[in-house]
Amino acid sequence: MRILLQFPEGLKQKALAHAKALEKDGNEVFISASPTFGACDLALDEARNIKADKLIHFGHAEFHHVDFNVEYIEYRIDAPLTLLGESLAQMEGAKTISVMTTIQHIHQLDEIRKFYEGNGKTVVVGTPYGFAKRKGQILGCDIGSAASVDQKVDMHVYFGGGMFHPLGALLATKKPFLVIEPFENKIERIDRLRDTFRKRSMGKVMRALDAKRFGILVSTKNGQHNMNLARIIKERVERAGFDAEILVANTFDFDSINNMLEFDALVNTACPRISVDDIDRTRKPLLSANELMEALRMKEELKAGRRRD
C-alpha cells in the first residue's frame, strides 16, 4: 500500500519512526512536509498527487468526512493532575463549573470531573457544535463544549497546554474562565482578556469605516473552505456600493497579501481564528464576517447622518 503520513508540528519528530514501522510491513511510505493546522487541514493534494492509497493523519480526531481514505490516529497525553487541588482556591463562589480540554487529554476528563465533584463542585460537561467529536472537547473553531453550558455554570475550567484553545472558548462565553496549564505548572484566570479582544475587534471595525475595496479570503483547506459565505459577503459589500473580490489560497501568506495594495480591508471566511490571531500580520484591517457586517452597518448610519445634515 502507498501511504502518506501527516503530522502536526509537535509530532513531526516522530515521523521517521512511524514511516520505518510501516515500511517493515511492506508499505511504500511518504511523509508530508507541509504544515498542518489540524484535521481541517489534511494533505489531500499531496496524497492525490502521489496516488496514495491512504492518508494517515496523526494527532487529531476526525473533523468531517472527506472523499478520501483517511485514517486518524489520535495522540493521548497523560498530563499531571497535581494542579487540580491548587485550582480550588481560584474557584471561590463557583458552585457549578464546566470542564473542557483538547483531544490529547480527553481521556483524563472523567478523572478531572470526579476530582471536582469529590470537592463539592457540580460539574457540567458541554457538547461541541459538531466539528469536535467528544463531549468536553474544544477546538479553535468549535467551542460548543463551553458556549453550550455558559448559562448553566458559575465558571469555566480549561485543562491543557497553551492558550490557543481556551481563548476561543473565552471569547464565546461570559462567565469567569480558569486555565490550568499542567506543562508550565500554571493556573490563570483569563477573564480580563475578553475586554482586550473586544477593544481590538472594535478597533478593526473603526479602521474599516473608510474602506471602499474589500478582499475576501477563501481557503481551499478541506475543513476551512467556505465559498458560499464568500459569495454572500461579496454580494453584500457590492450592494452597499463598494468593491469586493475573492482571494483564494491554501495557506495565507500575509506578506504576499500585503502586496495587494488596492484593497482597503480584508474579510476572513476560513478558520475563524485567523481574524483573531493574525491581525497584526496585515497592513489593513482583517475582519470576521460579523465585524464586516458591523462596519457596513456603521457606514450606512454615517451616510444617513450626512444626508440628514
Q: What is the pLDDT of residue 306?
A: 65
**Residue 209 and residue 126: Cα distance in Å, rounded?**
38
- Going by C-alpha positions, the residue among 273, 280, 286, 290 that lies closest to residue 40 is 273
Residue pair 146/169 in contact (Cβ under 8 Å)? The answer is: yes
How far, rounded to the nearest angstrom, does the alpha carbon of residue 243 sit from its chain's CA centroid?
29
Sheet holding 2-6, edge to edge: 28-31, 2-6, 54-58, 70-73
What average pLDDT does the segment 19-28 reach? 97
39 CB-near residues (< 8 Å, 6+ apart): 57, 60, 61, 62, 63, 72, 223
Q: What single-letter DSSP state applies at residue 104?
A: G
Q: What single-letter DSSP state applies at residue 41?
A: S
- Domains of the chain (ranges plus CATH)? 2-73 (3.40.50.11840), 83-191 (3.40.50.11850), 195-308 (3.40.50.11860)
Which residue has cell 511492506? 26
Residue pair 144/87 in contact (Cβ under 8 Å)? The answer is: no
Average model confidence (pLDDT) across the chain:
95
DSSP letter for each residue of 223-262:
TT--HHHHHHHHHHHHHTT-EEEEEEESS--HHHHTT-TT
pLDDT digits (tens, 9 = 90+) for 207-259: 999 999 999 999 999 999 999 999 999 999 999 999 999 999 999 999 999 99
The partner residues of 155 in beta bridges, in order of sequence, read: 97
**Residue 81 and residue 202: Cα distance in Å, rounded?**
38
Among 104-108, 118-122, 298-302, the minimum mean pLDDT is found in 298-302
What is the chain's alpha carbon radius of gyration, rounded to the nearest angstrom? 22
pTM value surpassing 0.85: yes
Residue pair 28/77 in contact (Cβ under 8 Å)? The answer is: no
pLDDT digits (tens, 9 = 90+) for 49-87: 999 999 999 999 998 889 999 999 998 999 999 999 999
Q: Where are the beta strands (DSSP E) in the chain?
A: 2-6, 28-31, 54-58, 70-73, 96-100, 122-124, 155-159, 177-181, 186-189, 213-219, 243-249, 265-268, 286-287
